[in-house]
Amino acid sequence: MPTGDRPGIGPPLWLLAELTYRCPLQCPYCSNPLDFAQTQQELTTEEWVRVLRQGREMGAAQLGFSGGEPLVRQDLPELIAEARQLGYYTNLITSGLGLSEAKVNAFRDAGLDHIQVSFQASDPELNNAVAGSRKAFDQKLAMARAVKEAGYPMVLNFVIHRHNIHQMEDIISLCERLGADYVELATCQYYGWAFENREGLMPSKAQLEKAEAEVNRYRERLTASGSAMKLIFVTPDYYEERPKACMNGWGSLFLTVAPDGTALPCHSARLLPIDFPNVRESSLHSIWYDSPGFNHYRGDSWMPEPCRSCDEKGRDFGGCRCQAYLLTGNADNADPVCSKSPHHDRILAARQAADHATAGLEELTYRNTDNSRLFFRG
């Protein structure tokens, strides 16, 4: 496979196919765009096949099928089979709603390598309240077991926020009972709906430290018992003093294609005031190597101070452009997470607000507010 044909720019090794923004759940931390309902004209099966072929020709090796909820696409088995024929390692990221044992087996037969099932909490009441679905928890349990029985590694994901962070030991215990192989405890990252609800979702520092200690104690217990279950605890960078190396650098490894064909260097980048190309109008090769959108923040020539003269810029790349834009209104600024940023006070203010937050679940903004309000009223 080719290894790239532009000096200093390697190929996109990880392709994320966001097949749809449609989803049966209403999670208040959803990272999809706030105006997702206005995104119409999803790529057709033939258009997605063309994208997959072009990505593989460029050297992409790993492929994620995501959403919204990718299971609402009736052509998913066909796309999985095409990806297998092309030689991708494939991962399905799903809520589990709409999944069945028959579909799990069909996906396995089509060549799917990996299924990740998401949960909202360790108990039915909280899980279903966050998801906005009365049957979500039982369905997730059944499908997690079906995935395991089909021979897949059981990979579970929990988005952690102030309303479920107290359940850490119960969450891990549930995963252990289910026979999970990998558990991602991903503290909420604040984009899309999560940014809209940040004050109601962000845990306090004390809550976070307690949760991390509980995870570490459980890790020791798992090691002592000989368990092979792996716990991955992803902390929010709002409590760091240096920013994350977002996507390993802009336009470095990851290429996301949104449901309408917009090509993005990361899942959240379409919120930026940048004109990103569309796969209906340009080839992936041209998009990745030549488009202004993908070249916008490559390298470090774009960096203002303090990033420009910082000796850490080769490790963190100035941090997250989306976060800089959301918090300062200018995506060129240093990520405010960094203590060197002149806007770091906005992160400190967010931490202080988290220490005094009182909002309940019913006060959050959901993807579908009407449905969620009906759920809370019973």
Return the sign of the alpha-carbon dihedral for residues 181, 187, 190, 195: positive
Residue 64, pLDDT > 90, answer: yes
Q: Give the whole-number percent of the chain exceeding pLDDT 90.
A: 87
Is 310 among the annotated ligand-binding positions?
A: no
Is 30 among the annotated ligand-binding positions?
A: yes
3-state secondary structure the chain: CCCCCECCECCCCEEEEECCCCCCCCCCCCCCCCCHHHCCCCCCHHHHHHHHHHHHHHCCCEEEEECCCHHHCCCHHHHHHHHHHHCCEEEEEECCCCCCHHHHHHHHHHCCCEEEEEECCCCHHHHHHHHCCCCHHHHHHHHHHHHHHCCCCCEEEEEECCCCHHHHHHHHHHHHHHCCCEEEEEECCCCHHHHHCHHHHCCCHHHHHHHHHHHHHHHHHHHHHCCCCEEEEECCHHHCCCCCCHHHCCCCCEEEECCCCEEECCCCHHHCCCCCCECCCCCHHHHHHHCHHHHCCCCCCCCCCCCCCCCCHHHHCCCCHHHHHHHHCCCCCCCCCCCCCCCHHHHHHHHHHHHHCCCCHHHCCCCCHHHHHHHHHC
Q: Give the whole-number percent of the chain exceeding pLDDT 70.
A: 94
Label residue 235 by pLDDT band (50, 70, 90): confident
For position 375, what pLDDT does the model report?
Answer: 39
Query: pLDDT digit string (tens) for 277-319?
Result: 999 999 999 999 999 999 999 999 999 999 999 999 999 999 9
For position 376, what pLDDT does the model report?
Answer: 37
Distance separating alpha carbons of residues 282 and 38, to the nearest angstrom: 23
Name the token pair of 270: 């379409």
Scan for tokens 């579908």, then name that residue. Answer: 368
Residue 73, pLDDT > 70, answer: yes
Is 23 among the annotated ligand-binding positions?
A: yes
Distance separating alpha carbons of residues 273 and 104, to the nearest angstrom: 40
Label residue 5 by pLDDT band (50, 70, 90): low
For position 133, what pLDDT does the model report?
Answer: 86
Residue 374, pLDDT > 70, answer: no
Query: pLDDT digit string (tens) for 92-116?
Result: 999 999 999 999 999 999 999 999 9
For position 70, what pLDDT does the model report?
Answer: 96
Mean predicted lDDT score pLDDT of the chain? 92
Phi, psi of 28 (to 5 degrees): -75, -5
Structural domains in the chain, sorted by start:
14-239 (3.20.20.70)
Give the residue-averaged pLDDT of 264-280: 95
CB-based contacts of 109: which residues, under 8 Å, 6+ apart?
none
Residue 254, pLDDT > 50, answer: yes
Label residue 39 by pLDDT band (50, 70, 90): low
- Least Cα distance to 335 among 268, 246, 218 occurs for 246
Query: pLDDT digit string (tens) for 153-186?
Result: 999 999 999 999 999 999 999 999 999 999 999 9
Give the residue-averaged pLDDT of 18-28: 93
Label residue 42 by pLDDT band (50, 70, 90): very high
Label residue 372 by pLDDT band (50, 70, 90): very low
For position 40, what pLDDT does the model report?
Answer: 67
Label residue 3 by pLDDT band (50, 70, 90): very low
Query: pLDDT digit string (tens) for 136-162?
Result: 999 999 999 999 999 999 999 999 999
